[in-house]
Structure 1
Amino acid sequence: MIQARILFEAAGPLTTIQDRGRTGSMRFGVPPSGPVDRLAFAAALAATGATDGWGFELSHGGCLITCHDGAIGFALCGGGFLADIDGDEPRAWRVGTLHAGQRLRIRAGSGNWAYLAFAGQHAAPRWLGSSATHASSGLGGGLIEAGSAFTFDSPRTLDPSTLAPPPPSGPPDSLAVVLGPQDRHFLADAVRQLEQARFTVTSRFDRMGRVLGGPPLVPTSISMPSEPALRGCLQADGDGGLTVLLADHQTTSGYPKIATLIGPDVDRLAQMPAGHTFRFDLIDRHEALRRTRTAAAANAAWLRSLTAPGRLDERLWSNNLVDGVIDANGP
């Protein structure tokens, strides 16, 4: 069997293995985890044809990888992170092939998260049915450190290219939110501030959440029973400071959540550089659904344009070949 082996010579502190996320376990207190930027993650998988459905999530520390054996294609997507091979011109959104003896160096860009996928097969560790790593516990595929090595079966090479950027999903200085689910714990003035004031993304973030700067939105009380928490919720502490919940968010929270970001804008906020200012666009649930569906359709078309040709069996598995249903008992 043809194989390729890579070794992490260096890895930043937030380097993990992620798949699309762990479903069905939040009722047991287990966060879904998965990628912080779901679109960039999907792009890396699409570009490599990674049928195992997982990749490496990188943050500001970047990484340095050596290919020890074989040759294997890779894709780096998201955050404006830059990749070079043996010191050649660094490029973002890069696809290429790493050959034995070559080094792949990845450095941080304008954003905060990037995704690296390889065109081969490797059975990453799973926990509760998923390889998504819960960063604080390390459960799942696991944290990546210097010395971590991976052997990929059936590696494929990929022609060098630079991927087209994703379609814009909204203006750079505006993020859409829906009021609630605990807006009852805020006065009308706090809701007006939410809609009219400008906020700043700070450098305080991890996979659990990101702290915002701006006017305090002080709740009337924080003596509330714990209620479910979801990705994208704007959670206010007792002083009115806001935190946006991300992939490793807690499953319940006793702090009130004044509003919730729509899905596409959660990933946008997670990638914004520290110091970037924006305002919240307060919309109703019907507009939220419309914008989310529009973004999903545009993103799906873009991802299809990135899909690696791969082998015939992989193309068959990745496409829906059934466009109708036949009832054997029907007329």
Structure 2
Amino acid sequence: MGEIFELLKRGNRSAMLAAIVNTVIAIIKGVAYMFTGNVAMFAETMHSLGDAANQFFVFFGSALSKKAPTEKFPNGFGRLVNLVLLGAVLIVGIMAFETIREGYHHVLHPTKSGGFIINLIVLGIATLLETFVLYKAMKEVLHEVGKEVSGPTVFVKSFAHLGRAKPATKLVFMEDLVATSGGVLAILAVVIAHFTDYHRLEGIASILIGLMMFFVVGRVFLDNAAGVIGQADEEMESKIGAMVMADPDVKDIQEITVIKEGEDLHVELEIEIDPSLTVAEADDIKDRLHEKIFAENGVADVKIEIDEEDGVMTWQGEKEPAETKTQ
């Protein structure tokens, strides 16, 4: 039991925060829907329920994926977070289907809903809370890639670096981006329908929110299916390769592989060095490279093999700039 609590302390904090906030939002929206019967509010209730359940799964999955390797599972549990996320998107998919179905029914049989002021207040508060969670997820994305940014630039920079974020953080980011957009869309639908009597618009908004949820399902499914299989991280291969080649004693890289498993990166290298170097000198090179590579965010283990220089250049990438070598 103690081990489980220790693992939970290491779970993705963005996912836990988002799960708690979305649970509160879902309860508020659900109560408002019971009083008003507004179909856009129903769509938002389903959306928040799906997000909350999903993000609780993500939190537990990200925590359990950090469990140390065992004799039965020597490769560790890094891919567990990908498996959990694949299961979690099924919940969002079901909620999305229900949202679209209810919206379609309302388009065919539009009815006037009440509680205009209640709907506006609830949707406004929910959208503000979801924007706060989205901002925290954006900050987490930048933190995970080593970029400490504040102010309005967070919104721009987080999109640029989203691809490098951990799977759990990426899911929270995408879900709350859709949740915030859906909240704004629901508010517009409620206001326009109230002042124009075009009540089908609430159903149309529900369908659009459901389609946005399906977009998240598709994107997360593809990302995590690749993670379960074991996806090569080409960007990190290039970065680590350049770092290794910047070492003055490394003559060439015969092979480099960086496999992404959940939130972890597994690095395997085969380098060439001068054959005249002693075993002790070769061991120093290996230790030096280990230290540099482990300093990269997300690297869980490094395996380096050493061979003598064969005079044929295999590495096709670039070296790091000269000023980096002197650091």
Normalised to the residue count of structure 2, the TM-score between the two structures is 0.24
Structure with the greater alpha carbon radius of gyration:
2
